[in-house]
Structure formats: structure tokens, C-alpha cells
């Protein structure tokens, strides 16, 4: 997964496509999260943030991860690709270790999913 993140960053250096970079990063997060929550692929908003927060990272890192959707789905916005990459790398390093995941809360894990 970390090698895939490196490939995404290299592609971004070549083409400057911030939407493709953010989308690729977001897909990596979803793929790893799905290993621990089958509903992770459909989660949005607070439900997605809660899933990401099951990995012990700080609020600033979570904010960077949540901002990826803004870059993907909205008109061009300011995007700090270096900060986003660092946040994704930090989350992935921890998330790839199953023991690092906190237990899910009692709230439905697909809350916030679009119907």
C-alpha cells in the first residue's frame, strides 16, 4: 500500500493532476478500511471519519484525510499534496497493523452512507 502511495506521488509529479492524486489516496484508505469494516466503501461524512478515527492518529491527520473528498468532488480547491501524502502515509502505516485498530463504536457502521 505504501508503495502504491509512492507511485501516486510520482504520477502527480509528472502530471500535476491533484484530483487523480486525491482520488488514488482516497481509494487506498477505503481499501484498507474495508478490511476492518465492510461498510467503509459506502461511508460518508461522520461515519467515514469515525472509521478513520479507529486508527490512532491526531485530529489534524484526520482533517487532512477528510479533505481528500473535497479535492475529488468539488471545483479546484487549495490542496497541500505534501500534507495529504504525509497524513495518508501515517494512517496507512498504522492501519495496516490490525492490532492498532480500535473497536467500532455501538453506532451503526454504515451510518452516513448514501441510500
Mean per-residue pLDDT, 57-75: 90
- Cut 0.75: pTM above it: yes
65 has pLDDT over 60: yes
114 has pLDDT over 50: no
Domain locations in the chain as residue ranges: 2-96
d(CA 112, CA 115): 9
Specify whether the CB–CB gap between 94 and 55 falls below 8 A: yes
pLDDT for 19-50, tens place per residue?
Answer: 999 999 999 999 999 999 999 999 999 999 99
d(CA 96, CA 28): 11
Mean pLDDT rounded to a whole number for the chain: 87
98 has pLDDT over 70: yes
Amino acid at each position: 500500500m505504501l508503495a502504491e502511495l509512492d507511485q501516486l506521488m510520482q504520477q502527480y509529479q509528472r502530471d500535476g493532476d491533484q484530483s487523480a492524486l486525491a482520488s488514488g489516496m482516497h481509494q487506498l484508505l477505503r481499501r484498507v478500511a474495508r478490511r476492518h469494516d465492510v461498510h467503509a466503501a459506502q461511508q460518508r461524512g461522520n461515519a467515514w471519519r469515525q472509521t478513520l478515527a479507529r486508527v490512532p492518529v491526531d485530529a489534524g491527520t484526520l482533517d487532512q484525510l477528510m479533505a481528500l473528498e473535497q479535492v475529488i468532488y468539488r471545483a479546484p480547491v487549495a490542496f497541500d499534496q505534501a500534507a495529504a501524502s504525509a497524513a495518508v502515509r501515517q494512517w496507512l502505516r498504522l492501519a495496516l497493523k490490525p492490532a492498532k485498530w480500535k473497536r467500532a463504536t455501538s453506532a451503526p457502521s454504515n451510518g452516513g452512507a448514501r441510500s
